Structure 1
C-alpha cells in the first residue's frame, strides 16, 4: 500500500503522480495544503513537507520525502517501465534536465504560481502585479530554452520519456491550470506538451479541481 501526501497544483507533487501513473502504481492520495502542513509529516522526518510517500507494502516500511527521493525509490522498487535511461550518458542528461526543471522553475513557482494561488485559491489578498510580471518573464525565458530542446529531440533528454519530461510537464501543467502559459510563442514545446498531456498518466492531473477556482477552459483539452 502506497500513500502520497500532496497538493494537487504543486508541480513537485505532480511530478511524483506522473511517475506513479507511468508505472501504473496504485496510490492513496492525501491532500495537504502547502500553507498548513500537518504534524504527521514532521513525525516522519525532521522538516518533512509534502510531497511525502509511505510504502507499507515493501519488506520494510519506506518513507520517502521530496520528489527526488520518491522518484528514485520508485525507479528501484518498480523498474519497469524505466523513467531513467539504462545508458549512463543518457541517464546523466535526464537527471541534469530534471534538476534544471526544478531549479529554473523555482522562481516562477515563487512569483507567478504563488500569486495565482493567493488570488484564486486562498483569496488572501490582491495579487502583486510586480511578482506576476516577474513570473511571466521568467516563464517565457524557460520556455524559449525548452522549445529549443523540443525542436531537436523526441523527448527532453533524448530518445525516451524520462523524469525530465515528467518534471517539466508537471510544472507547465500547474501554470496552465490558471491559463498562464503562452503556448503560441513556442510551437515545438506546445507539440511536445500535447503528446505528454495525451498519455494515460496525465488524466488524473487533467481532472484536478481545486476549491475556489476552475481550470482554464483549454486545460483538459488534448488538442488545446
Structure 2
C-alpha cells in the first residue's frame, strides 16, 4: 500500500496524485501543509520539498520526496501504465517539457499568484501584494501562450498521447484555476486540451478538492467550461 503526504492545492502534490491515479495505483492521502509538515514527515526528512510518498511494495518500504524522485520511481516499479513515452526521443522531450513547466511555474507564477491566493485563503493575511500579482499574471500569460501554441499542433503537449508533461501542466493550472486566475478565453486550444485532461478519471478526486472558507471558481469542476 502507499501513503502520500500532500496539500490539496500544492501543484507538486497534485502532480503525484495524478500520476498515481493515471497508473491506477491505490494510495492513502495524509494532509501535510508545506509551511507546517506533520510530525511523520519531519521524522523522515529535515527539510522536505513537496510531497512525500511511502510505498510498501514488493521491494520493501521505499520513501521518496520531490516530484521527480517519486515519479521516476513509480515509472520503474509500476510500468504497466506509463506516463513517459517508450521511445527515447519522445521520452526526452516529455522530460524536458515536464521540467520546463515546473521550473517556470515555480520560479515565476506559483510564488506570486498562488502564494498570495493561499495566504489570503488559508493564512488569512490582510492585504495582497499587488506588485507580485501583476508580475505573476504577466509571466502566466507568457506560459499560457507557449502551451497554447503546442496544443495547436498536437492533441497533447508533446504529441498524440498524454505524458507526465501534460499532467504537470494540468496540476499547476488546476491550482490556479481553483481561484479563477486562468484566462481560458485567450487560449482556446489550451482550453480544449485542459478539458480533455480534466475529463480523465485520474482528475476526478482533484476536482472535489476544497479549502475551508474559499469556494473554487465556477469553472473549476466544470468539464464543459
TM-score range, shorter chain: over 0.9
The answer to whether structure 1 residue 85 and structure 2 residue 90 are counterparts is: no
The alpha carbon displacement at 1:87 in A equals 0.4
Q: How far apart are the structure 2 equivalents of 1:151 and 1:184?
A: 15
Q: Residue 37 of structure 2 aligns to a residue in which SS?
A: coil
Partner of 1:129: 130
The alpha carbon displacement at 1:184 in A equals 0.6
The alpha carbon displacement at 1:27 in A equals 0.6
Q: Residue 205 of structure 2 aligns to a residue in which SS?
A: helix
The alpha carbon displacement at 1:185 in A equals 0.6
The alpha carbon displacement at 1:89 in A equals 0.1
Q: How far apart are the structure 1 equivalents of 2:89 and 2:49?
A: 32
Q: How far apart are the structure 2 equivalents of 1:49 and 1:165?
A: 22
Any unmatched runs of 5+ in structure 2? none
Q: Residue 4 of structure 2 aligns to a residue in which SS?
A: strand
The answer to whether structure 1 residue 12 and structure 2 residue 47 are counterparts is: no
The answer to whether structure 1 residue 215 and structure 2 residue 219 are counterparts is: no
Any unmatched runs of 5+ in structure 1? none
Quick check: 204-213 or 55-64, which moved more? 55-64
The alpha carbon displacement at 1:210 in A equals 0.9
Quick check: 163-172 or 209-218, which moved more? 209-218
The alpha carbon displacement at 1:211 in A equals 1.5
Structure 2 counterparts to residues 15-164 of structure 1, below 5 A: 15-106=15-106, 107-164=108-165
Q: Residue 126 of structure 1 aligns to a residue in which SS?
A: coil
The alpha carbon displacement at 1:190 in A equals 0.4
Q: How far apart are the structure 1 equivalents of 2:82 and 2:36?
A: 34
The runs of at least 4 aligned residues of structure 1 exceeding 6 Å deviation read: none
Contact (CA 8 Å) 1:19, 1:71: kept in 2 or not?
yes
Aligned length: 224
Partner of 2:185: 184
Quick check: 200-209 or 58-67, which moved more? 58-67
Partner of 1:165: 166
Q: Residue 29 of structure 1 aligns to a residue in which SS?
A: strand
Partner of 1:193: 194
The alpha carbon displacement at 1:199 in A equals 0.3
Q: Residue 61 of structure 1 aligns to a residue in which SS?
A: strand
Q: How far apart are the structure 2 equivalents of 1:92 and 1:57?
A: 28
The alpha carbon displacement at 1:38 in A equals 2.6
The alpha carbon displacement at 1:201 in A equals 0.3
TM-score by length of 2: 0.97
